[in-house]
Structure 1
Amino acid sequence: MRRVPRWALLSSGCAPVVLTGGWVVAGRLEGGSYDPATQTISVLAADGAAGAWVMTAALVALGLCHLVTAWALRPAALPGRVALGCGGVAALVVALFPAPSSGGSLQHGSVAAVGFALLAVWPVLAFDPDGRAPWGLRRVPCFAATAVMGAGAVWFLIEIQGHGAIGAAERFVTFVQSVWPFMVVASCVRHKRPAESRL
């Protein structure tokens, strides 16, 4: 089995840090008018937002983290690596096409939806049927991760219809999606191949 370089812990570990750090700092710059429970992350990066530059930089960093991690995650099945990398590209494109200050944007919404979908399915596409694979690439954890992300996406869609806690739902989904690559990389770095375990 091909090894994952240790520096992938940095690229994957930085993803949730830059994402959450971005929405916290941008939210503070936006002030009391912004409600993180009922407003989306896109509002923070929208044209004219006080912290738009912070949230945009966080999205760019997130996309780069996913791209680098996908490249380094060699034990994962190729379709999963491609989906993770394309999810990173989607984050970069979302940063390039921010939501308008008022109303919606078909471009922004479409790219965000594609990114959500890619990052939700990549664990299933990456799993290794070999029972000796690292924990993060085994069937049950991979399918469970996709199920949790899918449930979060359903929650998000429900909140869109009801105009409720859309911000909380979006943060749940995006945080899980940003943490899972780190968990997979960590499991691969810690994994000992059968030959190594006998030494």
Structure 2
Amino acid sequence: MRSVPAWALVSSGCAPVFLIMGWLVAASVQGPPYDPAAQTISVLAAPGTEGSWVMTVAFIALGFCHLLTAWGLRPAATAGRTALAAGGVAALAVAVFPAPSSGGSLRHGSVAAVGFAVLAAWPVLAARGGAAVPWALRPFPSLGATAVMAAGAAWFLIELHLHGVAGVAERAVTTMQSVWPFVVVLSCLRASPRDDCPT
């Protein structure tokens, strides 16, 4: 019997779908005033903007997906599961503390920064050693995933500071962060019965 429940594949697979569909639909509702290359995803959920509820719902759905996946991903090290769950809580907090339509917000910025950090760190924190460990939970792929996410987060901060293509950078890193849990769950479920994920 596999140690990762099948519903974890659904929760992890829905995370990127909710996120990407959320920003696509919200941006289409806002129309030309919104520049997806330069403006962040959070701007789509700013109070008073058209379709802000769409992105808010997407953040909430993403948060619950991460929480459920962390709960079901028993083969991962506890520190990694905790970090993934913290990323889910951060997504919920982003919905509670939305970015303003103009200017900055310390609360929103702090919550978003924590979310980026824990979601970048969770793969390496979830890694385990041993021949029976699924490939996506092995140290080298986990370290690679964390390195790519950290580099993406750094790129986003640079673009934000330079008033460049922050929207492109943010979408790249958040897509990676939302897809990786699905990859990990899939690698566990694809493990052969004799190489079941350790509990």
TM exceeding 0.5:
yes
Match of 1:91 in 2: 91
In structure 2, stretches of 5+ residues that fail to align are: none
Q: Which residue of 2 aligns with 1:10?
A: 10
Q: Which amino acid aligns with 1:70?
A: A
* Distance apart, 1:99 and its partner CA: 0.9
What do the CA deviations read for 1:83-114 (whole angstroms, capped 9, x no partner)?
00010000001100111121100000000000
CA deviation string 1:111-131 (max 9, x = no partner) = 000000000000000001113
Match of 2:110 in 1: 110
Give the equivalent residue in structure 1 for 2:128: 128
User: Aligned AA for 2:119?
Assistant: L
TM-score, length-scaled by structure 2? 0.96
Matches within 5 A, 1:1-199: 3-194=3-194
Structure 1 pair 195–42 and aligned structure 2 pair: CA distance change class (3 A): closer
| Structure 1 residues 42 and 131: CA distance shift in structure 2, 3 A | same
What CA deviation, in whole Å up to 9, does each residue of 1:172-192 have, x standing for no partner?
A: 010000000000000001112
Contact 1:11/1:66 (8 A) holds in 2? yes
Q: Indicate if the aligned counterparts of 2:8 and 2:72 stay in contact, CA closer than 8 A.
A: yes
* Residue pair 1:67, 1:89 contacting (<8 A) in 2 also: yes
TM-score (norm. length: structure 1): 0.96
CA distance in 2: counterparts of 1:98 and 1:158, whole angstroms? 22
Deviations 1:142-163 (A, max 9, x none): 0000011011011111101210
> Secondary structure of 1:56's match?
helix
List gaps (5 residues or longer) in structure 1: none
| 3-state DSSP of counterpart to 2:44 | helix
Quote the Cα distance in structure 1 between the aligned partners of 2:101 and 2:194: 55
3-state SS of 1:98 partner: coil
Q: Distance in 2 between matches of 1:17 and 1:77?
A: 26
